[in-house]
Amino acid sequence: MSVLPFDPGASGIPAVAVTSSPVPLSKCLRFINHGPLVIVTTAREGRVNAAPVQWNTPVNDAPPTVALALAADNFTRALIEETGEFVLNVPDERLLPAVRLWGARSGRTDDKVRAAGAALEPGERVAVPHLREALAYLECRRVKTVDLPGVSLVLGEVVGAGADLSFFTDGQWAPHTRSLHHLGGGEFVLDGERR
């Protein structure tokens, strides 16, 4: 496993042409089944927020449902509670500079999406956009929030999904796909060789 280097001067997202296509909801939970970091986008009054979240998981496939563990005072959690919608975006190494920026700032005070130069695509089933550069995205509506000491578990039903079909085909990640995983302490790795 090789740890990805940190370049504190890198903040922009490389310009990449990504074309997402719809993916059947019966296959969409495979986007996060292997435990990648996701970037959660939320929106309110035309302003979009982006936050990297490693603690995410599928919890049901009929209907497809995901869970996020968010700090109780987290801005992303507050926006989800207020609007009832969010999008999970699956990044690869191209988005690492933005992930680092988004993880170090609060959307309460900063327009993090603009600061990173991220391109957005409008949501299809929700009012929240997804990141154009993401490998895949899951559009979600909040079902329930379970509050625990210091953390909230947010459950969301997936109502729409899409992926770049050069990375996700026939209901599977292509062998060359390398999603991003957060080790903690500012260190990240890409998933490895398939066996």
Strand locations in the chain, DSSP E? Answer: 20-22, 38-44, 47-53, 56-61, 64-71, 85-90, 120-121, 130-131, 136-148, 151-164, 168-169, 172-173, 180-184, 187-190
The rounded distance, in Å, linking the Cα atoms of 185 and 77 is: 22
Buried b (16+ CB within 10 A) or exposed e, 3-28: eeeeeeeeeebeeeebebeebebebb
Indicate the average pLDDT of the chain.
90
In the block, which residue shows the tokens 């995901």?
A: 66
pLDDT, residue 5, reads 45
pLDDT at 7: 44
Q: Give the span between the Cα atoms of 155 and 115, in whole angstroms.
A: 29
In this prediction the pTM is: 0.90
Structure tokens at 194: 């398939």
Q: What is the mean pLDDT of residues 97-121?
A: 94
Could you tell me if 54 and 37 are in contact, meaning their C-beta atoms sit under 8 angstroms apart?
yes
Q: For the segment 57-78, what is each residue's pLDDT rounded down to a tens digit? A: 999 999 999 999 999 999 999 9
Question: Is the predicted pLDDT of residue 1 greater than 70, yes or no?
Answer: no
Domains and CATH numbers, the chain: 20-190 (2.30.110.10)
pLDDT in the model for residue 13? 57
Tokens 């390398």 correspond to what residue?
178
Share above pLDDT 90 across residues of the chain, in percent, rounded to a whole number: 80
Q: What is the pLDDT of residue 8?
A: 39
Encode pLDDT of 7-55 as tens digits: 434 445 555 556 788 999 999 999 999 999 999 999 999 899 999 999 9
192 band by pLDDT with thresholds 50, 70 and 90: confident
